[in-house]
Amino acid sequence: MVDLRLRGVVVIVGNYGSGKSEVAINLAAFHRQAGLRVRIADLDLVNPYFRSREAREALAEMGIEVVLPPDPYLQAELPVLSPMVAGIIRQPGELTILDVGGDNVGAMVLAALGDAFAAGAIPQVLQVVNPLRPATDTHAGCLKIRRQIEAAAMLSVTGLIGNANLIDETTPGEIADGYAFVQGLSEASGLPVVCITVAEELLPQVDASRFICPVLTIRRQLVPPWKKAGRL
């Protein structure tokens, strides 16, 4: 299996509910465990619940720097962007992951950071795709959202992350279908597949050797109160 190695600024975008935050959190944890200095910034200004900030304690315990708005505004529905974000885009260190809100609306915040992006290296902008979500169940749907996000963000998408899942009800068949879907999307768009995701509990049932891209293990963090988060 190919190694997953991300460096510099990595921007996670995608349609609403594609699983960006869960992917961003697990990408951060994976690279931290590989020994990198990792930062994650929650730029979700549109979603009121289930944002990556909810995993802040688990991430901080691993030694990941979590960049968030100041505490009193954490649960506010105000578009509060930490003033630190522009600075870390200019000086990303080994790996800085930006978890952006959904759709073009959520990606608009990136345009506001245009000066910071222009000053640094070209960022990797990864589109998370779950074909089991209604708006992205076709390649055309994924490409439409890609265009809308690029227009709003004023950045180009540079890669794909296949995140096919039905949360607890995902089957190995859906992982295989999701893999084929994102490979097809890669051919249609010319974008490389950076990785696909598989939930930790499903991993034993999946033959990862048949995938030509890296597999990111997902240990779910953004769970409802009656469920336990996975151990990062």
Residue 168 CA to residue 153 CA, distance in Å, equals: 32
- Residue 206 in contact with residue 164, Cβ under 8 Å? no
Minimum CB distance to other proteins smaller for 10 or for 58? 58
Residue 120, interface with other proteins (CB under 8 A)?
Answer: no
Minimum CB distance to other proteins smaller for 96 or for 130? 130
Provide, rounded to whole angstroms, the least separation between the CB of residue 46 and other proteins. Answer: 10
DSSP string, 164-198: ---GGG--HHHHHHHHHHHHHHHHHH---EEEEEE
Residue 48, interface with other proteins (CB under 8 A)?
Answer: yes
Residue 210, interface with other proteins (CB under 8 A)?
Answer: no
Per CB under 8 A, which of residues 126..165 are in contact with other proteins? Answer: 130, 132-134, 137, 165
Residue 52, interface with other proteins (CB under 8 A)?
Answer: no
Residue 169, interface with other proteins (CB under 8 A)?
Answer: yes
SS3 sequence, 57-89?
A: HHHHHCCCEEECCCHHHCCCCCCCCCCHHHHHH
φ, ψ (nearest 5 deg) of residue 109: -60, -30
The residue ranges that bind other proteins (CB under 8 A) are 16-17, 48-50, 75, 77, 130, 132-134, 137, 165-169, 224-227
